[in-house]
Amino acid sequence: MGEFADKVAVVTGGASGIGRETALLFAAEGAAVVVADIADAGAGETTALIEQAGGRAISLHADVSQAADCERMVAAAEATYGRLDILFNNAGIMHPGDGGAAETTEEIWDLTMAINLKGVFFGCKYGIAALQRAGGGVVINTASFVAQLGAATPQLAYTASKGGVLAMTRELAVIHARQNIRVNALCPGPLQTKMLMDYLDTDEKKQRRLVHVPLGRFGLAAEMAQAALYLASDRSSYVTGATFNVDGGITAAYVTPE
């Protein structure tokens, strides 16, 4: 049955990348999965892949920057499967026009914050209430290694939004620790995903990022899914409020402990 038998998970950004790989892995472990994304076709493909493998899933259109959409995706989990046990707030954007303070427009800043930061807030606002109704559960918020160090290729709005995700994760972990709810931040390093490869659109940009990674390669979305599986499982039962770096060693090389 898998270690997530009888568990129900919501995965935002489930149409591709980390979200898709995690939805597939959670389902393979027995979870029923609500695949939420604005990319309806991709979300449907993820759901079809889960069903083809014998798993349970539904796809749902959700713009995480909209409170009503986040409320609806949580309600769908409870209406379809009876409860919510795992909330993976993973949806995010990396705008190609995001640069330094001078280059980044207010519109790009606001859009990035609305999806990357407010979207996580909305997910937690409605998702944590569902976890409470289920008697406890797990929240995983996708942050980034750039929340802990300055990026070699500037992306100010993205970096600031992910710093906010880290801070929010810590506070929610403390608030809900006595309610059998764990809240952790997954901090991927540079990944071989379409989002980052579109942003690092020249070999020079790619090499500028890779030169800082001790393992010398981009990570894979499937490797992040394995990390999310650990954080969502009982194997991490004493882990909450953590910044879980899965980054090829980049923060170990560049972040000085306080």
Residue 50 has pLDDT above 80, yes or no: yes
Class level of CATH domain 8-189+219-245? alpha beta
pLDDT in tens, 135-176: 999 999 999 999 999 877 789 999 999 999 999 999 999 999
DSSP H helical segments within the chain, as ranges? 17-28, 40-52, 67-81, 106-113, 119-133, 156-176, 194-199, 203-210, 221-232, 250-254
- Whether the CA torsion 163, 169, 175, 178 is positive or negative: it is negative
pLDDT of residue 150: 83
pLDDT of residue 1: 66
Question: What amino acid is encoded at 232 in this protein?
Answer: A
**pTM exceeding 0.85:** yes
158 catalytic per annotation: yes
pLDDT in tens, 56-96: 999 999 999 999 999 999 999 999 999 999 999 999 999 99
> What residue segments make up the domains of the chain, in order of their start?
8-189+219-245
- Of 126, 158, 230, 238, the active-site residue reads 158
Confidence at 212, pLDDT banded by 50, 70, 90:
confident
